[in-house]
Structure 1
């Protein structure tokens, strides 16, 4: 559908880290650092505060007007309701544990528990995405042509010169192939999986991979499709006390609950369909590694997990950054967030769906607390296995392949237990209540936590970095100007160029990178708008 992932994602509006963005420059990308990118984060969105009562209920005093976007096309907002006690209890509980929101997340330096905004228009209570923000205002322009129902099959290059130059894009529509010819350049934005696929189909990739498929090699770059990063997560669902409302009835698709929610949305634009489901979150350091004893524990863990489980030219740079932030109490390396419904994270539970529903659903009401690892060292791959554009690429995320990833996320899982048993959140939990299928009733033992992570681990659907912006000898596919190495006239502008997994959801960073890319493109061609 039009809008890509922005049209189907969970709408959580989460800022990246200053340290992480500065690392892009440290990796060898001149001109990419927080001071350069921060104005583009601010440029693309408008954040609207809710009513004063909702601001107080959601503990939104962290919002800094010096940081907040106020004139951008993407709309971000918060729920208006003040009846649900769980979000407030979440923030207050983390504050009692020493993790109050330290600043505005879009300052790049925030840690703590908070209520994050959602990409929802505060007036219409509808999704704000790339289509509503960027396409709709521009769709009447005479130089804009949007073609749907078409598949790009490959790029066409002129290889007669010293450097191959892109001269066309082959597109299949209704069984017919058309070659679209660029005037200035081609901008590839097929996403973290589609972009490396298209490069390889076009002859840009590893010679050892492409030649056996009968693809003529244009640029031999084995970095294409490598360095894939994503946020693994695990979770536990806790049964809540009697009378605490959750979204379990909706997750089970009970007709009465669905009808009531739709009626409320249709008539008043309120209720569960007017807001996202996972807006109570946090950006946390790992408590186990804080203080003098924690620093010694970190040294022990790093010593025991100091292997290069994911080989490649980027590994030493990647490991150096991750090891540094693991010991920084001001850097959030884990995202702990809630979802007010029972989850199904064990495959032999109620089927393949993450949320229980229908006849297989678990009766009762639950609060799920998730732990996502924000800077995993495990890196995967995405590659073609056929020269046929209709064949999907093979994706191997390699979750938890690096032993440090398992060590860190298992410790965050243990911390979930502590949060659930700390007031005020604990008073909304049923004493000795049920948990989701397969969840241990006690996670004090680290080995038990690790085994549960292995069984329950899921993707956050935040993939990045498969065509990373890095020097070519460090694993790169594109330059700091986002040009593909080895060819002329081809840029990539999507999440595949982000060299390091973002601190939390990657959508905001995709928008910021795209805004900066627009300026780079305009400057290159002398375009004044």
Structure 2
């Protein structure tokens, strides 16, 4: 109730704020490009100091009252609307030369306004792998920031009876981000049906997959406000309750074209003076920065702004008449994404309520007795895969570095046994059942680059799905786990007939090649794009260090999913909130 009252009190002033700027409003201490998950965390934390001025420049508009956003059960409603960038990939060479739609949120709140609201973090070894690249980040250090961001709503007695569990010492309860379980969860003893099913599959119940160890199954929490039955996006959590701060200004419907630069001597690093942006009318305006320009526009936008600003591969920049300012050839490289699909059945059980049931499986769960053979195959393939990745980068990638990255990933999968597959069961209703699935740790690497100096021109985006055969094996193993899930009692008693792919399309005991053909014709992006401005040493292909400073610049930083060097097995949102909380402290300390 307090949250609803606060919302009603601040909403009017919040929506009016962008048009009520004082005369000095073109100069700020910090300019944040992108009012999404990461950008609004930074804006909030930096503006906590009343002596610092902060501007957020967001290409989209406020969606505070947009029902396609606010619905806690409306995943997908915003797809294809004006708040969905709906980028197009290049034709995918290894998947029938078909393009993919790459969705991202164009709104205040960014992709947190259109995502699936899943609040699941990562495996401990995945965050600890950051340190293997020289970053001063570990699971233990980031856990403090996971907790700082989170405002977990403890489940009610009824929610607990229906499967909502957690370990209190792994969570925060006072953070801005409301996290909880649906008010109306699925009943009819369905969670017990799944518990018995997974026990028969050898998969345990996981009391809390947010504690860093994800294997098992669980009824996961969401970024939603159960008391208000609303989606909890970054704007609701980090902007609207604080929008009255006089030192925090928001520029909506304003698209940053490029970073502007100070005059430079031969002995100083390039220093950003601010940004040039186009407002809603199309007029070009400028904002000036006293301290930092921070890109938080996401993995598919931040690298393009860097390139249009003269930061990137000189060969690409010169091709479009852009004068190189900082020679940083790996901007836009190392793009990684996951692939997903849906397995369908008929159903003879009609359940109501909202709960999704997630199962996380490791390499042994998926490949069983074939695991060691696969381990050896992947290990022996890494040198050739590194060669292929270098070739696909046009020779930009450092072969030794790519091989080292692949070796670390191999160790996470086969030694640390991070979960590699996610299987998401929807409660059957209205005659149908659905199990979504995706592979979590692909090796394939792609890239994104500008196709013109004009910011309105579409980018060249190549996720390079299924570039390497492990990724095909991973997804085949994952969908086979979904089929096994549906065909294990007692769940199979309620899902009598497979409809997708169907046994006529992919027979029982079909070989990998048959599965792969079907998967490549039905898959989509999982919309988890990372690593296009990776946080790792420059010589390894990094773009920023663990202080988020762009190499070779004095005051340009990147804080968003583009800095993640590896995929996480949870969903990106939780980790991005935590990483941005950490970055805010790093930035404040740098300017103390």
Normalised-by-shorter TM-score class: 0.7 to 0.9
Residue equivalent to 2:167: 64
Residue equivalent to 1:299: 376
Displacement after TM superposition at 1:287 (Å) = 3.5
- Give the TM-score normalised by structure 1: 0.84
Displacement after TM superposition at 1:450 (Å) = 1.9
Q: Map 1:480-519 to 2 at 5 A.
A: 480-519=546-585
Residue equivalent to 1:107: 211
Structure 1 pair 289/10, CA: closer, same or farther in 2 (3 Å)? closer
**RMSD value over aligned CA atoms?**
2.2
Displacement after TM superposition at 1:286 (Å) = 2.7
Displacement after TM superposition at 1:159 (Å) = 4.4
Question: Does residue 323 of structure 1 match 2:421?
Answer: no
Q: Distance in 1 between matches of 2:587 and 2:249?
A: 19
Q: Map 1:247-266 to 2 at 5 A.
A: none
CA contact 1:466–1:497 (8 Å) conserved in 2: yes
CA contact 1:103–1:109 (8 Å) conserved in 2: no
Q: Which runs of 5+ in 2 are unaligned?
A: 1-106, 391-396
Q: Map 1:118-133 to 2 at 5 A.
A: 118-133=222-237
CA contact 1:288–1:297 (8 Å) conserved in 2: no
Which of 182, 200, 214 aligns to 2:307? It is 200
Residue equivalent to 1:51: 156
Q: Distance in 2 between matches of 1:176 and 1:89?
A: 59
Displacement after TM superposition at 1:328 (Å) = 4.1
Q: Map 1:324-363 to 2 at 5 A.
A: 324-328=411-415, 330-339=417-426
Moved more, 88-97 or 118-127: 88-97
Q: Map 1:159-174 to 2 at 5 A.
A: 159-161=263-265, 162=267, 163-173=269-279, 174=281
CA contact 1:337–1:371 (8 Å) conserved in 2: yes
CA contact 1:239–1:435 (8 Å) conserved in 2: no
Q: Map 1:398-417 to 2 at 5 A.
A: 398-417=464-483
Residue equivalent to 1:185: 292
- Give the TM-score normalised by structure 2: 0.75
Residue equivalent to 2:83: none
CA contact 1:238–1:436 (8 Å) conserved in 2: no
Question: Does residue 154 of structure 1 match 2:238?
Answer: no
Q: Distance in 1 between matches of 2:527 and 2:405?
A: 21
Length, aligned pairs only: 471
Structure 1 pair 298/518, CA: closer, same or farther in 2 (3 Å)? same
After superposition, the C-alpha distances for 1:340-371 in whole angstroms (9 at most, x for unaligned) are 589xxxxxxxxxxxxxxxxxxxxx63222222
Structure 1 pair 128/84, CA: closer, same or farther in 2 (3 Å)? farther
CA contact 2:313–2:330 (8 Å) conserved in 1: yes
Which of 483, 507, 525 aligns to 2:591? It is 525
Residue equivalent to 1:4: 110
Moved more, 289-298 or 180-189: 289-298
Q: Which runs of 5+ in 1 are unaligned?
A: 247-270, 343-363
Displacement after TM superposition at 1:304 (Å) = 6.0
Displacement after TM superposition at 1:414 (Å) = 1.5
Displacement after TM superposition at 1:288 (Å) = 5.8
Question: Does residue 233 of structure 1 match 2:299?
Answer: no
